């Protein structure tokens, strides 16, 4: 059966997450329904990461197995036709070998979190960023972020519902960027690791926001990490500012 890699962009506000659910709309379910329009039967696609409800995808990667040989561009066009009523787009498609697996072949995932500070409500970015009304100290947040880099037990920064076998992960990048806009300030958190725990990125950002306000210090971040206790985490920020921004493989399937 020919296998195809799909690069997927989606607005998570319309979905209960990536993973297929019986009673709620999901990104996976919508793509599988589109595949059924092309080839009858049950389809089960696999993705690089399962994003939560409200989380967006800029470059999620999934793979599917089909019966017929498709020209990759025609497959993406056909899927986009059937996905046009959903806020999902297949932005790239490529034929790959049977050894390629969207999840297990991935070397790292990259996430972006957008936080916008301004007094006025968001209009164009509503549902696409976390809105706060107060300013933040970007240098303090970066100092706190640096305490989280490396290999640690991240029990404090994962959901109690996390199903991962181990809380130990290696965080390769947590960079805070400040962008001055005409109508406010945007803070972007760039996060990179081989794999992540459930709610890990949102736990990081919610904690660092407390550092940015001065309510926490970078030393408080270190202490929270060291106690390995979920109760020591700062507030978990809302999902609408989070994006799965990219996935790295040994060879780029879309090159």
How is 110-130 classified by DSSP, letter by letter? EEEEEEEE-SSPPSTTTTTSE
Give residue 45's Cα distance to chain centre: 18
Three-state DSSP class for residue 109: strand
In the chain the first and final C-alpha atoms are separated, in Å, by 22
Q: Is 170 left (phi over 0), alpha (psi -120 to 50) or beta?
A: beta
Cβ neighbours of residue 210 under 8 Å, at least 6 residues apart?
A: 216, 220, 234, 235
How many other CB atoms sit within 10 Å of the CB of residue 183? 11
| Cβ count within 10 A of residue 150 | 10
Q: How, if at all, do strands 242-248 and 3-10 pair?
A: unpaired
Q: Catalytic site residue 52?
A: yes
Per the residue annotation, which of 52, 137, 146, 220 is the catalytic one?
52
- Give the whole-angstrom CA distance, residue 46 versus residue 123: 34
- Residues with catalytic roles: 52
């Amino acid at each position: 059966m020919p296998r195809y890699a799909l690069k997927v962009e989606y607005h998570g506000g319309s979905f209960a997450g990536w993973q297929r659910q019986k009673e709620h709309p999901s990104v996976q379910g919508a793509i599988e329904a589109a595949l059924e329009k092309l080839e009858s039967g049950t389809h089960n696609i696999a993705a690089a990461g399962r994003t939560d409800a409200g989380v967006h995808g800029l470059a999620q990667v999934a793979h599917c197995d089909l019966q017929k040989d498709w020209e990759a561009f025609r497959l993406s066009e056909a899927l986009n036709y059937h996905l046009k009523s959903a806020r999902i787009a297949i932005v790239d498609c490529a034929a790959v070998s049977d050894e390629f697996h969207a999840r297990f072949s991935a070397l790292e995932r990259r996430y972006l979190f957008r936080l916008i500070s301004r007094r006025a409500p968001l209009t164009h970015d509503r549902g696409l960023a976390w809105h706060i009304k107060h300013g933040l100290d970007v240098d303090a947040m970066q100092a706190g972020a640096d305490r989280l880099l490396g290999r640690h037990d991240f029990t404090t920064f994962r959901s109690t519902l996390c199903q991962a076998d181990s809380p130990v992960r290696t965080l390769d990048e947590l960079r805070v960027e400040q962008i001055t806009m005409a109508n406010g300030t945007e803070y972007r958190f760039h996060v990179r690791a081989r794999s992540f725990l459930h709610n890990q990125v949102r736990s990081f950002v919610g904690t660092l926001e407390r550092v940015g306000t001065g309510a926490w210090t970078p030393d408080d971040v270190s202490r929270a990490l060291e106690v390995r206790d979920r109760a020591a985490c700062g507030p978990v920020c809302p999902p609408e500012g989070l994006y799965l921004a990219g996935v790295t493989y040994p060879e780029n399937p879309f090159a």
